[in-house]
Structure 1
């Protein structure tokens, strides 16, 4: 059975290595901790297996992942800076990460050359498997479903910052536009994330990174900027989709308003390539807070609010919970994506799906999730009140309580993570089914897999890498049947849905977009 992955990073991790010795995107990366000259230890327990390969090109080929949204991404300046501040990294203890390369990334002036080099490396690296190939799909004729020796990739760029050289020079905007047009004219780019983890000149982002100094990644602006409007319009003119992942909720709301026509149609489809669900309506976005928001400032004096969310219990499976941080999709986000004719890719990051337990990362080993809200968007997020006066949810009813978390049996994590993934699937379909303007059967064709594999994620234990996709597909069938019945979703055939979820939906969406762009 072939598979599709809407958000896959086979070329990201080599960017942190010495360019002269960096791994091939075909190679399995087995990160190690250097203890002495002659002793290396696996580093999995220290970095939650995030540095090891989850989907290099060999893994994708061997596990029938036929077509991917191949993500081109230049690690941002603050990511390079933040990683270099980790003692285990700056002492040269991690064999995958080169400190000189981190300094190169931290300079923040090489983003455009980094994505060009990533694309070149993906296309030119030589596999050890005879006859194996990686091929960019520039038009629909490039995709051959019967070719079992090729991994096909449709280009998605994660972050408009990737088109900058030096963003601080006087002619940065002109050079950005030159790079943007050069790249998008030469290549079929299906979608672009307007923003990513770090503040940018195009729009405000949602806080989304947990293991590096959070002050580097505070969202500090408001909605879409005038320059952001210019570039998004240019993207629309070129039929390039805006991936809403990483946008703040205020930014997303402005985009929906802009994209929606007077007759309720949309200017173009909305997509989220690697999503999780909040499990709540946008009106409840400030409801599940553990404590009053705390005022923080970054090094430039920008004010943000630190928000600690509790995790609301699922209405579908009482043993699962949602991550209601605003980087995830509220019910209205799901509705807009479906109504626009877009598609949702499901992330395999356990935190995004609502789970977060890693004994090494003590700061996130809680049944809570922390994010930061820009002071400029405080009115939109908290409402017309002083955030310090918000009514807090002080009881443990309907949320993941600390005592529940303390009692977790790690031997059950595989099953639990599978249930959290299923919960996100069911919630998306439940939202569609209760909306009068959304056809459930059509919505079932608008969900796919978007793992974020080989990004810096802590993958769900039931599918840590690409070789787990087939077993996962088999394992979620019976639980889905039960939940389809209990949630009134029996109009959907489960076997057909699973084939569509893991392959057909994403493949068809990508090919239809490329057909609309290039033929």
Structure 2
């Protein structure tokens, strides 16, 4: 059986929520963390198929091992206030009164603001530390990345949102967490954080994790909600299955606080070793430490389009443009920014005020990806919402030497054009962002959404059963290949910038052909069958040179592309960017510190 790589998973997430005790100082049993969450028959009878599929889309340790996922990036993250307080299936589950896979105490702790996001993050990291003592699992870092053991599960880490760096109590802009619920020997050591700024917290956190031989590959700067106590960047509107004011985007791009975090992440260093594991330099009989660049990469997932533009501009200004960018679990719009702007349906756009939050509700005509079928042809449209990648984003990532993890969430991959409706291609932009992209369209002339229309959006909370063809994923992959092949200098290596970022355990509705981490072999079979079909059909609609998709001609070339996407690209990316072992010839390029 082949091995697999996943750029974005949450191996402990659902069990972490399910088993969280009332007293956060209590420890969960490690054996309760490695398997899938349990769901009683009564609970399964109570809920519906779509909710069950979201809960069952897991990447627990047992599933990862069964599915031969040999290398993955585990995202650790505290549940956001907006999610814990939202309307939708979370709330329905907690109110069901049945034995359920998600426990209420964790949600109450977040809603009541008893602790900080950083507090909850550290508790989850502690569980990974405890897990290592019980499981046959390897945590890769910059010292051992060259020793990838393909017989066991290898994990590195990601920080799933800038909110995790916040030391203020949740929902409280004034009171800082005192971490009183931590005990001696825990991951957190009271009093060691140099300051309360998120940039300093990031550096402290990365250093603490490195002391424990854990490595952070990337930081997802934004999440799906606005965090008022620590605003780093405007997030993209990205969920219609839950409802809370914080889901609406706020602000106008990357903030100064966000820039500080990006700069710190990009300039982090680590002590280097030479190939003989000896000191590289001595001066006047005094040993010197050689520091090598060891950045935490920035993940652009969930950033608004304006925030992404600000990020790229800031990176160029600071000289960071060659540090790899990550898009960890994402889809594509199929558009360039100008194409997206041109396809705005202005006559449908409205001023939107809901629960005191003012935004602009926009509609965009979706981009056709291609058709399939013989007699009754079916069309497929990309999801045009700006949470997905524009062509410019794809180019930035490829030119930085980064990596794009195509998600398995059907809500981002697009829609069958025959089933698509208005709610699928609508989203919300902040007023400043709308003005930035559409300066000649008067907001004053836009109608206001009526109270009835806003109330009607409650229908979004009803689960929507989607049965997407595997081509939905393939069309997203093909578009990325086309953009890199046609608009960058990487035509001959376009497939090397793509992998899978499933987001399993992230409460997604997954593709039916790959519903959890055990089923990546099914996904491989689907890519082998449908990727060449998608390439040919995409080219009929969108054009391109005849040699753009060479893998459609020979099976062995197709196998190479699929293997790269499902495993090789991820392991190669780690090898290229993680090693801290250098030769003496490299010493002039690193910093000497007394």
TM-score (norm 1): 0.84
Is the contact between residue 7 and residue 69 of structure 1 (CA under 8 Å) also seen in structure 2? yes
Gaps of 5+ in 2: 22-27, 178-194, 210-214, 269-294, 373-377, 447-464, 540-545, 552-556, 584-594
- Give, in angstroms, the shift of residue 89 of structure 1: 2.1
Quick check: 1:419 aligned with 2:471? Answer: yes
Q: How does 1:409-488 map to 2 (within 5 A)?
A: 413=467, 416-435=468-487, 437-484=488-535, 487=539, 488=546
The Cα of 1:210 is off from its aligned counterpart by: 1.7
The offset of 1:472, in angstroms, is 1.8
Give the Cα–Cα distance (whole angstroms) in 1 for the partners of residues 147 and 48 of structure 2. 37
Does the 8 Å CA contact 2:470/2:530 hold for their aligned counterparts?
no
Distance 2:157 2:426 in 1: 32
Corresponding residue of 2:156: 154
Distance in 2 of aligned mates of 1:455 and 1:74: 12
**Who is 2:95 aligned against?**
90
Task: Count matched residues.
Answer: 482
Within 5 Å, give how 1:487-498 maps onto structure 2. Answer: 487=539, 488=546, 489-492=548-551, 493-498=557-562
Residues 299-314 of structure 1 correspond to what in structure 2 (within 5 A)? 299=355, 301-314=356-369
Aligned to 2:127: 121
1:305-354 CA-to-partner distances (Å, cap 9, x unmatched) read: 12244533215766221001000001111111111211110100011101
Deviation at 1:445, TM superposition (A): 0.7
Most deviating of 451-460 and 51-60: 51-60
The answer to whether structure 1 residue 209 and structure 2 residue 277 are counterparts is no
Aligned-partner SS, 2:368: coil
CA–CA separation in structure 1 for the residues paired with 2:199 and 2:581:
20
Cα distance in 2 between the residues matched to 1:430 and 1:341: 17
Partner in structure 2 of residue 31 of structure 1: 39
What per-residue deviation string (whole Å, max 9, x for no partner) do you get for residues 402-428 of structure 1?
xxxxxxxx9x93xx4301001001111
Closer, same or farther: CA 183–349 of 1 in aligned 2, 3 Å: same
SS in 2 for 1:417: coil
Instruction: Give, in whole Å, the separation in 2 of the partners of 1:157 and 1:388.
Output: 40
Cα RMSD after superposing both structures: 3.2
Does structure 2 retain, via aligned residues, the 8 Å contact 1:31–1:44? no
* Counterpart in the other structure of 1:3: 4
TM-score, scaled to structure 2: 0.74
Matches within 5 A, 1:146-295: 146-148=149-151, 150-166=152-168, 168-169=173-174, 174=196, 176-177=198-199, 179-187=201-209, 188-200=215-227, 201-238=231-268, 239-260=295-316, 266-286=321-341, 287-289=343-345, 292-295=348-351
Q: Distance in 1 between matches of 2:347 and 2:94?
A: 34
Structure 2 CA distance, aligned partners of 1:304 and 1:94? 39
Q: Find the aligned partners of 1:151 and 1:477 in 2 and give their Cα distance.
A: 25
Aligned residues of 2:159 and 2:220 also touching (Cα < 8 A): yes
Residues 62 and 422 of structure 1, relative CA distance in 2, 3 Å threshold:
same
| CA deviations over 1:17-75 (Å, ceiling 9, x no partner) | 2424788331112434746xxxx637451515111242111111111100101101111
Q: Secondary structure at the match of 1:71?
A: strand
- 2:139 alignment partner, one of 133, 136, 140: 136
The DSSP-based 3-state class of the residue aligned with 1:372 is: strand
1:160-197 deviation per Cα after TM superposition (whole angstroms, max 9, x unaligned): 11122325226687264553232111222111011111
Question: Judging changes above 3 Å, is the alpha-carbon distance between structure 1 residues 252 and 178 closer, same or farther for their aligned structure 2 residues?
Answer: closer
Contact 2:325–2:397 (8 Å) recurs in 1? yes
Deviation per CA, 1:460-499: give whole Å up to 9, x if none. 1111112221122122213323454674324452111111
The CA distance in 1 between the partners of 2:438 and 2:71, in whole Å, is 41
Match of 1:112 in 2: 118
Residue equivalent to 2:187: none
1:400 equivalent in structure 2: none
In the alignment, what sits opposite 1:401? none
- SS of 2:512's partner is coil
Question: Contact conserved, 2:220 with 2:298, CA < 8 A, in 1?
Answer: yes
Q: Which runs of 5+ in 1 are unaligned?
A: 391-409
1:508 counterpart = 2:572: yes
Distance 2:226 2:442 in 1: 25
SS in 1 for 2:120: helix
Q: Is 1:386 matched with 2:442? A: yes
Structure 1 residues 94 and 292 mapped into 2: Cα distance closer, same or farther (>3 Å)? farther
* Contact 2:145/2:574 (8 A) holds in 1: no
Whole-Å Cα distance in 2 between the matches of residues 190 and 256 of structure 1?
19
Q: Is the CA contact 2:145–2:575 (under 8 Å) kept in the aligned structure 1?
A: no
Distance 1:58 1:384, change over 3 A: same
- Structure 1 contact 140–515 (Cα < 8 Å) conserved: yes
Asked if structure 1 preserves the Cα contact closer than 8 Å seen for 2:353 and 2:359, the reply is: yes
1:372 and 2:373 equivalent?
A: no
1:215 deviates by 2.3
Check conservation: 1:334, 1:428, Cα contact below 8 A.
Answer: yes
Deviates more, 1:489-498 or 1:234-243: 489-498
SS at the partner of 2:75?
strand
Q: Which residue of 2 aligns with 1:398?
A: none
CA contact (8 A) 2:326 2:404 kept: yes
Cα deviation 1:210-260 (Å, max 9, x = unaligned): 211142311110111111111111111111111001100001011112223
Q: Which residue of 1 aligns with 2:16?
A: 15
Which is further off, 437-446 or 447-456?
Answer: 437-446
After alignment, is 115-124 or 286-295 more displaced? 286-295
Distance 2:256 2:581 in 1: 26
Q: Following the alignment from structure 1 to structure 2, what is the Cα–Cα distance between the partners of residues 441 and 275?
A: 23
